[in-house]
Amino acid sequence: MTKIPKQKVSSFPRFLIILSIPLLMFCTLFLAYVKYISLKTEFHTIIIIGFILLIFLLFIKHNAWYSFSKYHNSIDETNDHIDEYLKDNELEIAGRKKAYGNINHFFDNQLRKIRNDHFSNTAASIFPTLGILGTFTAIAISMPDFSVESQAALDKEITTLLSGVGTAFYASIYGIFLSLWWVFFEKRGLTKIQNSIEETKILYHDKIWNKDEIEILTLIQNKTQNDNLLQKLEDTVNPQFIQTLNNVVESKIELFQKLNTEHLGFESKLTNRHEKLIESFDLNAKKQAQLLENYEKLHEKMLEMNSGTSNSLSEYNTFAKALKSEIYSVLASFELISSDIKSLGQDMIRKKYEDS
């Protein structure tokens, strides 16, 4: 872990230094208000300047000169994070091992934890604005009543107005001074913070790859690899290797010629078989045509036979119906004859009984 030899910096003395002159000015105006100093000051002016001083107190912790002490005291924590980051991003080039990355964001994160950049950037414009606002507020408060009737009363009101206007400008003066005071310590603190960051970067300079080093070492590594490749080619491409390669090429050519001859023979056989297959297809086509013709003739004969069979069936049905009628007639005749014979037999039997 990288350690920076340093001495702790106390924050409270810096807070008091930044507050000293603004507080001293406020105390001076307050003493003037209580008539301890011969300087005319109104009560509303004290209230307005006190309010501006209170806002200044809230902004002090965001001033760069005050924040430098906290940054300086917490640099070890940032270094620990940087060491861990560099360890996780090590890159070896040409036998040298360093980290590849950017550590600026660690410093930015640390400063954001310590102070608010938005407050520090707007403070220089806020204090003059508050001073001007306080001035107009004081003028509005001390505005006299011009509706008096007597000249003496009017002169008194004008005197009161001029007196109030004179003290009202104290707020503007105070606000402008706070802005200048703030900018002075802000720039001074930023310079110290930037110098501290640069010192830290110098400590890590030998542990981080920069762009030029990477390009140079990459070129060197590529050149070394190319030299090694050329050396290997020189060691490999010798007369014995060329002779071996020539033998391999000749054997491959012979094999290719053999394969070509076999391919031509196979192609010739395939052509002959294809022609025979075509002839077989033609013969089969002719036979199929003959078979189709025979089938059509057979079909016609079957149609003729079916027609004759239909006529025979019709005649047979007519004959069967006539035969059936004749049979019914014969049966009816038989029934009549049987009935007559039966009646005759009964008559003969009855007559025989009567004779006996």
pLDDT digits (tens, 9 = 90+) for 92-124: 666 667 766 777 778 888 888 888 888 888 988
pLDDT digits (tens, 9 = 90+) for 293-335: 776 777 777 777 767 666 666 766 776 677 777 777 767 776 7
Q: Is residue 293 part of a domain?
A: no
CA 27, chain centre distance (Å): 60
Q: Is residue 226 part of a domain?
A: yes
Q: Is residue 303 part of a domain?
A: no
Q: What is the 3-state secondary structure (H, E, C) of 214-245?
A: HHHHHHHHHHHHHHHHHHHHHHHCCHHHHHHH
Q: Is residue 276 part of a domain?
A: no
Q: Is residue 338 part of a domain?
A: no
Check pLDDT > 60 for residue 82: yes
Count of the separate structural domains present in the chain = 1
Q: Is residue 174 part of a domain?
A: yes
CB 98 within 8 Å of CB 209: yes
Check pLDDT > 80 for residue 128: yes
CB 165 within 8 Å of CB 139: yes
- The whole-number pLDDT of residue 148 equals 53
Model confidence at 60, pLDDT cuts 50, 70, 90, reads very high
Q: Is residue 261 part of a domain?
A: no
Check pLDDT > 70 for residue 249: yes
Model confidence at 161, pLDDT cuts 50, 70, 90, reads low
User: pTM of the predicted model, to two decimals?
Assistant: 0.55
User: Residue 179: which domain range?
Assistant: 12-230
Distance CA 43, CA 48 (A): 9
DSSP structural state of residue 39? -
Side chain identity at residue 71, one-letter code: Y
Q: Is residue 210 part of a domain?
A: yes
pLDDT digits (tens, 9 = 90+) for 213-233: 656 666 666 767 777 776 776
pLDDT digits (tens, 9 = 90+) for 176-217: 999 999 999 999 999 998 898 888 878 877 777 666 665 666
Distance CA 290, CA 303 (A): 20
